[in-house]
Amino acid sequence: MTIETPQVQTLHADHPAPPGERLWTDALEQTRSRSPASFEQWFSSVQYDGFENRVLALTARDEFVRDWVKAHFIPDLLGHLARLAGEANQANLRVKWSISNRLERPVCQARRRTSEPPPPSATHGSGNTVGRPRSERPSRYSRAQLTAALNPKHTFPNFVVGPSNELAHAAAFASAGGGGPRYNPLFIAGGTGLGKTHLMHAIAHKVLDERPDSRIVYVSAEHFTNEFIEALQHHKMDEFRSRYRTDCDLLLVDDIQFLAGREQTQEEFFHTFNALHDADRPIIVTSDKYPQQLQRMPERLVSRFTSGLVADIQTPQLETRVAIVRKKAELEGIELSDEVAVMLAQSVQSNVRELEGALIRLAAKSSLTGRLIDEEFTLGELAMVSPRRPELMSVEDIQRAVCGHFRLSNTDLLSKDRHKSVAFARQVAMYLCRQRLKCSFPELGRAFGNRDHTTVMSAVRRVEALRQRDPQVNMHLEAIEQRLASSES
């Protein structure tokens, strides 16, 4: 197998170049010498259109290439051009960009293979072995790799259902073809470690079990972004879009909040969403925030997330946590008394993953030391890993409970952000601090980012008024009060 080395366009001696083009060629070579491989990769998607009157005209294949080259190469390139042209300041030069997906004269020729072995056969959904051309091979997108990415224990039978997650469970089960109305899209919101990923894996397992030919794509938002960037860099957008739009019967995207601020990836996901939705193919996404609380996310994407069903997963109550401990013990073959299960459930209240981790730690310590997992042993271990909770509640405790309920960070709560959802959560926190701790308004102002005491007064009065007439506000307050009560116990 041979590989053709990419070359930068050069000028022939029998065709003298204009002064601007000679300057461009010299500056280009000096820029290329800094990082040849990276230069060739990106400038295979850039075309030189001229350099006149201190204006460098370039065409990029798309906005992503333009933005990358502007950020990583243009400063050096303009510096070399300015020096070669005798300009005292490169600020005197500017770049005029055009966008076109058809470049007649790219600066570099893209790497291409002059000979290539025939593609191996690949197993497709049903298990039939078929030969495929290179562009259609499933390669890393095979069912075997999907199955490898799924936790075999994350199935519907192993998911403990309680009041905190019953809607999300029922909706996920329906999306997998288990009966009941199917909502498209299904948006599952919940804090870290509460079971969102478990439900995603369970959907994939059930669909594969019942319809082995199904083409399922399961990715995190971070992985979707990385694939998108790679496809742009290597000019494989057709392959990327085929994977997510044409060759996809079910799309599962974890942690959609990580698309925040990534405008080009959001644009691509928006069109992917529309293509699948128009074809009536299920789309399930998870997030640690509700759609309306996703910051730096375009409104048109948020509206599509809310067009189906938004099902949240709350912190499980004590009875559900006990059931989770028992189920995990059963799956891991750990002998556990009811008393120990309750002790564990009482010690870890906000995170199912931490709860299961505490059980595994107990089992490992028991196995290594030969001690029975009884109440005394459990109490000693929990005391070592769980710091004693202070008896008196503080402003920080209330802020933490409010952040947990509204899926916000403490930084968001104390920031100057005036987004409706953040501002409301902040007002609720101020109200609860005033009611429960009897703090003065100036004290609360300092505790909430050094705000003026009149701001706190206004927030408290507003929540008091809303509580009288808005049932939804009452529900929020009761849920947070319940969270605070459980943390005090």
Residue 286 in any domain: the answer is yes
Residue 233 in any domain: the answer is yes
Residue 299 in any domain: the answer is yes
Same domain, 290 and 202: yes
Strand-strand pairing, 55-60 and 94-99: parallel
- The pLDDT of residue 115: 35
Q: Chain-centre distance of CA 243, in angstroms?
A: 19
- The pLDDT of residue 58: 92
Question: Looking at the predicted structure, is the pLDDT value of residue 388 above 70?
Answer: no
Same domain, 49 and 23: yes
Residue 127 in any domain: the answer is no
Residue 428 vs residue 119, higher pLDDT: 428
Same domain, 211 and 252: yes
- The pLDDT of residue 82: 85
Same domain, 307 and 348: no
- The pLDDT of residue 354: 83
User: Mean pLDDT score of the chain, rounded to an integer?
Assistant: 81
Same domain, 161 and 286: yes
Same domain, 467 and 481: yes
Residue after which a domain boundary falls, among 56, 85, 112: 112
Contact at 8 Å (CB) between 193 and 286? no
Residue pLDDT, tens place only, 303-361: 999 999 999 888 888 888 899 889 888 888 888 888 888 888 888 777 788 888 888 88
- The pLDDT of residue 443: 84
Same domain, 345 and 403: no
Q: Which CATH number characterizes residue 260's domain?
A: 3.40.50.300
Residue 460 in any domain: the answer is yes
Domain that holds residue 378: 318-385
- The pLDDT of residue 47: 92
Question: Residues with Cβ < 8 Å from 34, sequence gap 6 or more?
Answer: 76
Q: How confident is the model at residue 186 (pLDDT cuts 50, 70, 90)?
A: very high
Same domain, 171 and 287: yes
Q: Which CATH number characterizes residue 83's domain?
A: 3.30.300.180
Residue 139 in any domain: the answer is no
Question: Residues with Cβ < 8 Å from 86, sequence gap 6 or more?
Answer: none
Tokens of 43: 């400038």
Residue after which a domain boundary falls, among 313, 334, 360: 313
Contact at 8 Å (CB) between 129 and 119? no
Q: Per the omega criterion (within 30 degrees of 0), is the bond before 185 cis?
A: yes
Same domain, 366 and 432: no
Q: Collapsing DSSP states into helix, strand and coil, what is residue 133?
A: coil
Contact at 8 Å (CB) between 119 and 132? yes
Same domain, 166 and 291: yes
Average pLDDT over residues 55-73: 83
Residue tagged 């925040």 (tokens): 260
Residue 488 vs residue 422, higher pLDDT: 422
- The pLDDT of residue 122: 33
Same domain, 357 and 407: no
CA–CA gap between residue 16 and residue 96 (Å, rounded): 25
Q: H/E/C letters for each residue in 35-71?
A: CHHHHHHHHCCEEEEEEECCEEEEEECCHHHHHHHHH
Question: Looking at the predicted structure, is the pLDDT value of residue 134 above 70?
Answer: no
Q: Which CATH number characterizes residue 483's domain?
A: 1.10.1750.10
- The pLDDT of residue 37: 67
In the chain, the N- to C-terminal Cα span, in Å, equals 69
Residue 108 in any domain: the answer is yes
- Name the domain count of the chain: 4
| H/E element, 466 | helix 453-469
Residue pLDDT, tens place only, 259-292: 988 889 999 999 999 999 999 999 999 998 888 8
Question: Looking at the predicted structure, is the pLDDT value of residue 253 above 90?
Answer: yes
Tokens of 433: 């601090």
Same domain, 202 and 305: yes
Task: Report the candidate in 71, 64, 119 with the shortest Cα–Cα distance to residue 235.
Answer: 64
Question: Looking at the predicted structure, is the pLDDT value of residue 163 above 60?
Answer: yes
Residue 375 vs residue 144, higher pLDDT: 375
pTM of the entire predicted model: 0.54
Average pLDDT over residues 184-198: 90
- The pLDDT of residue 3: 40
Residue 122 in any domain: the answer is no
Q: Which CATH number characterizes residue 344's domain?
A: 1.10.8.60
Residue after which a domain boundary falls, among 313, 334, 366: 313
DSSP annotation of 290 reads -
Q: Which of 118-122, 271-275, 413-417, 460-464 has the lowest mean pLDDT?
A: 118-122
CA–CA gap between residue 367 and residue 123 (Å, rounded): 43
CA–CA gap between residue 36 and residue 108 (Å, rounded): 11
